[in-house]
Amino acid sequence: MPGLGTTMTLRELALAQGIDKNDPIVEMLSKSTPLIEDMAFRNGNQTDGHKFKTRAGLPGVSWRAINEGVLPTRSSKKIVRETCAMLEAVSEVDKKLIDLEDDQALARLEESAAFIEGMGQEFSSAVWYGDTGFEPKGIMGLSKRYGSLTGPANKYIIDCGGTGNNNASIWLVIHSTDSFFGIVPKNGKIGLQHKASGVIDLEDPDNGGTYEGYRDRFQWDVGVCLKDYRQIVRACNIDVTKLPTFGTASDQSAHLLNIVNTMTNRVQKLNAGRAVIYMNRTLKEYWEKQLLLSHYIEKSMDQATGAINTSYKGIPIHVDDSLLETEERVA
Q: Which pLDDT score is estimated for 76?
A: 74
Q: Which pLDDT score is estimated for 7?
A: 85
Q: Residue 222 CB: number of other CB atoms within 10 A?
A: 25
Strands, E, within the chain: which ranges? 41-43, 49-57, 76-83, 85-94, 157-159, 167-175, 180-184, 193-196, 200-203, 210-226, 232-239, 274-279, 311-312, 315-319
Q: Is it the case that residue 2 has pLDDT exceeding 50?
A: no
Compare 307 and 197 and report the one with higher pLDDT.
197
Q: Is it the case that residue 169 has pLDDT exceeding 60?
A: yes
Nearest to 180 by CA among 230, 117, 114, 124: 230
Q: Which pLDDT score is estimated for 160?
A: 97
Band the pLDDT of 208: cuts 50, 70, 90. Answer: confident
Residue-averaged pLDDT of the chain: 89
Question: Can you tell me the mean pLDDT for 126-141?
Answer: 96
User: How far apart (Å, rounded) are the C-alpha atoms in residues 57 and 39?
Assistant: 28
250-268 pLDDT per residue, tens: 989 999 999 999 999 999 9
Compare 75 and 247 and report the one with higher pLDDT.
247
Q: Residue 28 CB: number of other CB atoms within 10 A?
A: 18
Q: Is it the case that residue 329 has pLDDT exceeding 90?
A: yes
Question: Can you tell me the mean pLDDT for 278-305?
Answer: 78
Q: Residue 22 CB: number of other CB atoms within 10 A?
A: 7
Band the pLDDT of 16: cuts 50, 70, 90. Answer: confident
Which run of H or of E encompasses 30? helix 24-30
Q: Is the pTM of this model over 0.75?
A: yes
Least confident of 32-41, 68-77, 231-240, 251-260: 68-77
Band the pLDDT of 279: cuts 50, 70, 90. Answer: very high
Least confident of 41-55, 215-229, 238-252, 302-316: 302-316
Q: Is it the case that residue 303 has pLDDT exceeding 70?
A: no
Q: Which pLDDT score is estimated for 1?
A: 38
User: How far apart (Å, rounded) are the C-alpha atoms in residues 94 and 99?
Assistant: 9
Q: Is it the case that residue 188 has pLDDT exceeding 90?
A: no
Residue 166 near residue 244 (C-beta atoms within 8 A): no
Q: Is it the case that residue 175 has pLDDT exceeding 80?
A: yes
Least confident of 43-57, 144-158, 226-240: 43-57
Q: Is it the case that residue 37 has pLDDT exceeding 70?
A: yes
Question: Can you tell me the mean pLDDT for 130-150?
Answer: 96
| 281-292 helix and 256-266 helix, angle to the nearest 10 degrees | 110
Q: Which pLDDT score is estimated for 201?
A: 94
Residue 290 near residue 256 (C-beta atoms within 8 A): yes
49-103 pLDDT per residue, tens: 999 988 767 788 889 999 898 988 887 788 999 999 999 999 899 999 999 988 9
Q: Which pLDDT score is estimated for 3?
A: 45
